[in-house]
Amino acid sequence: MRVQILKPASSASLRALTEPAQLAKFDEFAASPEELYALEADGTAVGWMHLHIPSEAKYSAFVYLYVIPAKRRRGIAREAYREAERRIRAVGCDWWSSYPPSEIADAFSLAVGFIYTNTNHYLVWHGTAEQIDYPDDNIRPIEARDIPEGPAIWSREYARMHRDLGLPYDEVVTTPGQIEADRREIREHPERWANVWLLEQEGRLAAYGALFTDGDGVGGVAVDLACRGRGFGTRMTAFLTRESIRRGYPHPCLYCEAGNNDALHIYEKLGYRITSSETVAVKTRTSIREDART
């Protein structure tokens, strides 16, 4: 069955295909007609897709698929999704989530080539100044001399955390060319790395921390395995929270994988509270390469 993704001539024809229970969702997406697509299989209209692709932010792509009941379980959504994913990956997005958590969404994610799914908690800070009043000595902005060791803390420990949870995850291995490019970029464009900090203790890099691109929350915290148990993760998270607030965001946010109880304990101690959860679907680089061959 040949599936095509087309810009619709009008949204009215797609709305006529839509079940009553999905009309509110369709009307929400129809407000952005440039992101609405018709799905056709063998020349016949079989559904629609809303596809938002950000211009540069990696974590805000969005895809929603609807296939009419009579045409389901024929691989239509799978084929449409593969094309949507190709377009999303072209801008560098590598994070997928389904909100709220759903067994159906999990099953679909695995069917289209994801390796695993896991629940991810979304936390928002509603604490007090006293809760995040930790010393920030030895926390400094990343510098060219910190490449590749600084970012490697995040890559290594993020992968380790997933493996500890029983979830496969590839550690990013930086090439010599990328190392030199990153060093040059920090020297020439330090503003592009203005959201990244390191905690240096006794002459060694002990922890990594970063805000989201727009600064509204904690994008990542990692402590080197050899330096755990000394409060570095707490100090870095508290520092990033204060920095986000200083930039004008009174309620910073962050994400935490279900089962990562040590990190969750730190976040809640500092004043973060779970406000929602979502399913995150992950493809390793190996599975991405396998997809490309199919």
Q: For the chain, what's the residue count? A: 294
What SS3 state is found at 180?
A: helix
Tell me the average pLDDT across 158-164.
92
* Whole-number pLDDT of residue 292: 56
Instruction: For residue 57, name the pLDDT band (cuts at 50, 70, 90).
Output: low
What SS3 state is found at 100?
A: coil
Does residue 219 surpass a pLDDT of 80? yes
Tell me the average pLDDT across 66-90.
91
Contact in structure between 40 and 8 (CB atoms under 8 Å): no
Q: How far apart are CA 12 and CA 192, in angstroms?
A: 44
Q: If residue 77 lies in a helix (H) or strand (E), which one and from where to where?
A: helix 76-89
* Whole-number pLDDT of residue 257: 93
* Whole-number pLDDT of residue 291: 61
Contact in structure between 186 and 151 (CB atoms under 8 Å): no
Q: What does CATH list as the number for 3-94?
A: 3.40.630.30
Q: So where are the chain's domains?
A: 3-94, 125-282
Answer with the residue of higher pLDDT: 94 or 136.
136
Residue ranges of E strands in the chain = 3-6, 36-41, 44-52, 62-67, 96-98, 116-125, 139-141, 196-201, 204-211, 217-223, 253-257, 272-282
Answer with the residue of higher pLDDT: 240 or 112.
240
The pair of structure tokens assigned to 184 is: 């040059």
Asked whether the domain spanning 125-282 has the same topology as the one spanning 3-94, the reply is: yes
**Which residues have CB under 8 Å from 146's CB, separation 6+?**
198, 205
Per-residue model confidence as pLDDT tens digits over 80-115: 998 998 888 888 776 677 777 788 888 888 888 888
Tell me the average pLDDT across 256-268.
96
Q: Classify the phi-psi angles of 28: left when phi > 0, otherwise alpha if psi is within -120 to 50, otherwise beta.
A: alpha
Q: If residue 162 lies in a helix (H) or strand (E), which one and from where to where?
A: helix 149-164
Residue ranges of E strands in 81-133 = 96-98, 116-125
Answer with the residue of higher pLDDT: 216 or 100.
216
Q: Which residues pair with 230 in a beta bridge?
A: none
* Whole-number pLDDT of residue 72: 92
Given 3.20.20.80, 2.40.10.220, 3.40.630.30, 3.40.50.1100, which CATH number is that of 125-282? Answer: 3.40.630.30
Query: Among 73-82, 156-165, 275-284, which stretch is predicted with the lowest mean pLDDT?
Result: 275-284
Q: How many CA atoms lie within 13 A of 194 on its CB side?
A: 11
For residue 20, is the peptide bond before it cis, meaning its omega torsion is within 30 degrees of 0? no
Average predicted confidence (pLDDT) for the chain: 90
Tokens 């994801």 belong to 114
Q: Which residues pair with 205 in a beta bridge?
A: 200
Does residue 176 surpass a pLDDT of 80? yes
Query: Among 41-55, 130-144, 180-194, 208-222, which stretch is predicted with the lowest mean pLDDT?
Result: 41-55
Among the residues of 165-284, which ranges form H helices?
A: 176-188, 232-246, 261-269
